[in-house]
Amino acid sequence: MQKEAFSSSSSKRFTFYLLAIGSACGLGNIWRFPYIVGENGGGAFLLLYIMLSFTVGLSVLTAELIVGRAARASLHKITVRLTGHIKKPFYWVGRLSLFISLVILAYYSVVSGWVLYYITQFFVSFFRPDTNAYLSTLNMAVLNENGIMQFLLASVHLLICAFILMYGKTKKFEKLLTYVLSFFVFLISILIYTSVSLESTTGVLRFLFYPDFSKLNLVSLGHAIGHVFFTLSLGLGLLVTLGSSLNDNDHIPTIAFRVTAIDTTISIVALLIIFPVAFTLSDRAMTDPGLLFESLPRLFMKIYYGEFFGFAFFLCLWIAAINASVGLLDSLISNTTERFRQASRLSSAWVVVAAALLLTLAPAFSGTFLKRFTLFEQSVIENIDSLLINYLLPLSVLGFIAVYFLFHKESERRDAFVSTDAPASVSLFRNWIWVLKWFAPGIIILGICLQLFVVIRSAL
């Protein structure tokens, strides 16, 4: 009996890890992180990012999980409860997180559509006599110049996610995810081996691990903190919901540390795979959102049966992206159903999918219809990315931190954090509270102010 209870609690924990790591590791690590590091000059930014991940990111992640387990409710419900309680306008925290979730879902679907396009291209290359010549011509131009195709691919992605969620295929999908993640690790090992044997590796290692602080600029702090929140999926209440499935005896800070460490490792591995190829392309390539898509096909050309590995790689990446999107979609549908009591889950799903589809129009047509609408010398899609990840997400986390301190009493915070099995947790407790109360808000506000300063200066 005891054994059964143990195995059910450990399988629950396994599912938790799978979902938490699955939601953290995705396009953010493999697609977004490399070009953000390239844009911000390499090593010094990487160091800043790692420091912020293990201070601010880890602390907020711990707090989200703790709140979720204590309240056994979603962030939106918690904020509504708090609002009734102390009559303060904390409602906006839940609302803002839902709004950002919807826009992220739309934006993420467009990029997932790019991944889908690459899957089809690798598939087509199986049947070409000149496989390598074909792969060498793969680039983003076709997508950039075809808004309708981007929109259609994003729609296919969204509809598949909705299908998995609505027709109860999530359990099957979780099983698939376990295999996919293991296979992904295998693929990544092959890619690292191939990539670091390229000539440019010494230069890449210097670029990444020899920090040149003069390369940091005023917006780097905001970019680093925004990406930390994005990659760990913080500020949206997703981990609050996941935290509600944890057992009372699970030590949350340890779990949060593991998730952060795995996520950061995958991001660094992505750099080691992509940069050696990017270095041989051009300087411009390293700062371009198309970096992953332009460079990886060239790496696969160097591997035996590269077209099959390329196909498998983008397929795994897409499955990881589905997992992240399903999490967002689930939280949006549950909240819509909760808000409009008469609505069925299916009709809420249609409303959310329709709203997300509408929102994909802007990033999808950014390179065509909306090409003229540049702001601060950036295209529509770049402005959406920046507004979402560098400004709104940090603001949402700031709101969450306020909710956290209102929600929990000092003694409850200590009980949730300190464990007799982990002696270091006693001394870490004070540091955690300090980071959460002072350091994280300070960094978020400073990051936003510095970016605003740069924007205003360039507008004048």
Least separation in angstroms between residue 41's CB and ligand PHE is: 22
Single-letter code of the amino acid located at 80: V
Nearer to ligand PHE, 38 or 235 (CB): 235
Least distance CB 393 / ligand PHE (angstroms): 8
CB 328 to ligand PHE: min, Å: 5
The Cα 123–Cα 301 span in angstroms is 14
Choose between 231 and 386: whose C-beta lies nearer to ligand PHE.
231
Of 326 and 440, nearer to ligand PHE (C-beta) is: 326
The maximal CA–CA distance of the chain, rounded, in angstroms, is: 71
Q: Name the DSSP class of 420.
A: T
* Number of helices followed by number of strands (H, E) in the chain: 23, 0
Nearest residue to ligand PHE, scored by beta-carbon proximity: 28
Q: How far is the CB of 75 from ligand PHE (least distance, A)?
A: 13
Q: Which is nearer to ligand PHE, 328 or 418 (CB)?
A: 328
Question: Do residues 220 and 43 make contact, with C-beta atoms less than 8 angstroms apart?
Answer: no
DSSP percent split of the chain into helix, strand, coil, nearest 5: 80, 0, 20
Nearer to ligand PHE, 230 or 300 (CB): 230
Smallest gap from Cβ 245 to ligand PHE, in A, equals: 17
Q: Within its chain, how far is the Cα of 207 from the centroid?
A: 24
Q: Please, which residue, 50 or 370, has the CB nearer to ligand PHE?
A: 50
**Cβ within 8 Å of residue 436, ≥6 positions away:** 59, 60, 63, 401, 404, 405
Inter-CA distances, 308 with 124, 303, 316, 402, Å: 11, 10, 12, 49
For residues 315 and 115, give the distance between their C-alpha atoms in angstroms, rounded to a whole number: 8
User: Which of residues 131 and 241 has its CB atom nearest to ligand PHE in the complex?
Assistant: 241
Helix ranges, 127-251 (H):
131-136, 141-144, 147-166, 170-196, 201-209, 220-231, 238-243
Of 15 and 419, CB closest to ligand PHE: 15
Cα separation, 456 vs 421, whole angstroms: 51
Nearer to ligand PHE, 28 or 42 (CB): 28
Distance of alpha carbon 245 from alpha carbon 337, whole angstroms: 20
Q: Which is nearer to ligand PHE, 252 or 270 (CB)?
A: 270
Positions touching ligand PHE (CB under 6 A) are 23-24, 26-29, 104, 230-231, 233, 236, 238, 324, 327-328
Q: Could you tell me the smallest distance in angstroms from the CB atom of residue 241 to ligand PHE? A: 11
Rounded to an integer, what distance in angstroms lies between the CA atom of residue 457 and that of residue 348? Answer: 43
Q: Which amino acid is at 422?
A: A
What's the min distance (Å) between Cβ of 391 and ligand PHE? 15
CA of 53: how far to CAs of 198, 259, 315, in Å? 30, 11, 28
Distances from the Cα of 349 to the Cαs of 23, 69, 158, 166, 236, in angstroms?
20, 26, 11, 8, 18
Question: Which alpha helices (DSSP H) does 25-74 contain, by range?
Answer: 27, 33-39, 43-52, 58-71
Of 162, 151, 183, the C-alpha closest to 325 is 162
Instruction: Report in angstroms how near the CB of residue 30 gets to ligand PHE at its nearest.
Output: 8
Q: How far is the CB of 419 from ligand PHE (least distance, A)?
A: 27
| SS3 of residue 438 by DSSP | helix
Q: Provide the minimum distance between the beta carbon of 292 and ligand PHE in the complex, in angstroms, as a whole number.
A: 12
Q: Which C-beta is closer to ligand PHE: that of 157 or that of 298?
A: 157
